Amino acid sequence: MSEFLSYFRQDRLPHIWCPGCGHGTVTGALVRAIDRLGLDKNKVCVVSGIGCSSRAVGYLDFDTLHTAHGRALAFATGIKMARPDLKVIVMTGDGDCTAIGGNHFIHAARRNIGITTIVMNNETYGMTSGQFSPMTPKGMLGTTAPYGNVERSFDLCELAKAAGATYVGRSTSYHVPLLIDLIEKALQNDGFSVVEAVTQCPTYLGRKNKLGDAVQLLNWIKDQAVNVKAAAVMPKEKLEGKFLIGELHNGPAPEYSAEYGELIARVQRSFENVKGGLWECASNSD
Amino acid sequence: MSEQKKVYFHTIREKWCKGCGICVAYCPKKVLELKDGKVVAARAEDCIGCHACELRCPDFAIEIHEASGERKHEAEHVDFALPPEAHHA
């Protein structure tokens, strides 16, 4: 399947991620979804912030941008506004997206700007040696939580839905076919789409919490995941301590950059009958 | 008459494999094994082509192909050991 490899900067591989890290699986799922849709390489722009997950753009052979911590969505918003014809994808981690870039995230969702955000949630800050993040479950250990994390964690999908994202889905690095389907649908959605991919971090989260190696961590994630269709017929007490996977929200709404383009066209039209046109009016105004 | 069994072969990029063992653990037919920290298709004839290993491999190191067509070994033509600077000189 050389088509699959053609989306990578092969000279940059093997990648920097630890053995057994799930970020590679998610990157592979994104490439497979793009391959399935047959998107033009030159019409895709992938943006990332800082963190383990954000290394992904260095290996992808699209137009890519590796930006400041948490600001991937801010940069992506600029790209989408300047070039609405591009397919803008943001690859971000749980710390990058919900802590440092939390505000950018909710406002990108509120505007419903046409960006596909893939959040690789490994429930820790892997790059800086395993501090707890806003997505670390309560009670888990981290280097900054040696006696257990007392903070409650975000439900990112609920947050995105409440903030106004039009497509929200969640999968894991174990449920890869579902992840590919979700990313494919998210890419087709005209608006802000969020796909949360729960991944394993064997080096920090796994080791610190004595959860075992990559395979045991994957099984641990698998046991917690419940498909949203199955959850609909399950009693509430059985769903405690579990998270839902699958398509969680799909509610199309007008897309921001298209709306903004229409506004510009409308204002320009309103100046058509004015003497001198838009340019004259603009240069004469204070 | 039973259908003829499909034959699959594995393209393994050893230089990319980090030996995490995910593919070995999730292979339903126990086709794969770790040898010196790298994956090998020990019982390739048992492979049913489910792609469970290929999809979950975090290192893009394993691919399954149906052996009907021409055998492609594109991975062997690229020297992945070369440093990236060599390609941009």
ipTM of this predicted structure: 0.82
pLDDT in tens, A66-113: 999 999 999 999 999 999 999 999 999 999 999 999 999 999 999 999
Report residue A281's pLDDT band, with 50, 70 and 90 as the boundaries: confident
Contacts of residue A244, defined as CB under 8 A and 6 or more positions apart, other chains included, come to: A157, A170, A225, A226, A227, A228, A231
Residues of chain B in contact with residue A17, where contact means CB-CB under 8 angstroms, are 58
Nearest-CA distance A209 → chain B (Å) = 19
Residue A122 to residues A53, A72, A133, A152, A217, Cα–Cα distance (Å): 9, 18, 9, 16, 11
Residues of chain B in contact with residue A11, where contact means CB-CB under 8 angstroms, are 82, 84, 86-87
- Give the ranges where A121-199 is alpha helix by DSSP (H): 156-163, 176-188
pTM over the 0.90 mark = no
- Give the ranges where chain A is alpha helix by DSSP (H): 2-5, 23-37, 72-82, 94-95, 102-111, 156-163, 176-188, 207-208, 214-224, 228-231, 256-270, 277-284
pLDDT value of residue B86: 60
State residue A264 phi and psi, 5-degree precision: -60, -45
B72 pLDDT higher than 60: no
pLDDT value of residue A282: 75
Helix, strand, coil % (nearest 5) of chain B? 25, 20, 55
Report residue B89's pLDDT band, with 50, 70 and 90 as the boundaries: low
Q: What is the C-alpha separation between B34 and B81, in angstroms, rounded?
A: 21
Q: To 5 degrees, how large is the angle CA B76–CA B81–CA B87?
A: 95
Q: Do A5 and B87 touch (CB under 8 A)?
A: no
Q: Which chain B residue has the Cα nearest residue A9?
A: B84
Residues of chain A in contact with residue B78, where contact means CB-CB under 8 angstroms, are 10
Fold annotation for A2-252: Rossmann fold (3.40.50)
pLDDT value of residue B79: 55
Domains of chain B: 13-69 (3.30.70.20)
Q: Do A218 and B22 touch (CB under 8 A)?
A: yes
Summary mean pLDDT of chain A: 91
pLDDT in tens, B25-59: 999 999 999 988 899 888 888 888 899 999 999 99
- Identify which of B22, B59, B65 has the shortest CB distance to residue A215: B22
pLDDT in tens, A22-40: 999 999 999 999 999 999 9
Q: Is A278 exposed, middle or buried (0-12, 13-18, 19+ CB in 10 A)?
A: middle
Q: A119: which strand partners? A: A92, A196
- Asked if A173 contacts A222 with a C-beta cutoff of 8 angstroms, the reply is no
Give the mean pLDDT of B1-29.
Answer: 85
The more confident residue out of B72 and A166 is: A166
Report residue A162's pLDDT band, with 50, 70 and 90 as the boundaries: very high
Nearest-CA distance A23 → chain B (Å) = 7
Contacts of residue B78, defined as CB under 8 A and 6 or more positions apart, other chains included, come to: A10
- Asked if A119 contacts A51 with a C-beta cutoff of 8 angstroms, the reply is no
Report residue B74's pLDDT band, with 50, 70 and 90 as the boundaries: very low
Q: What are the structural domain ranges in chain A?
A: 2-252, 254-286
Report residue B85's pLDDT band, with 50, 70 and 90 as the boundaries: low
B71 pLDDT higher than 60: no
pLDDT value of residue B80: 58
Give the mean pLDDT of A45-49.
Answer: 95
- Identify which of B65, B74, B84 has the shortest CB distance to residue A12: B84
**pLDDT above 90: percentage of residues in chain A:** 81
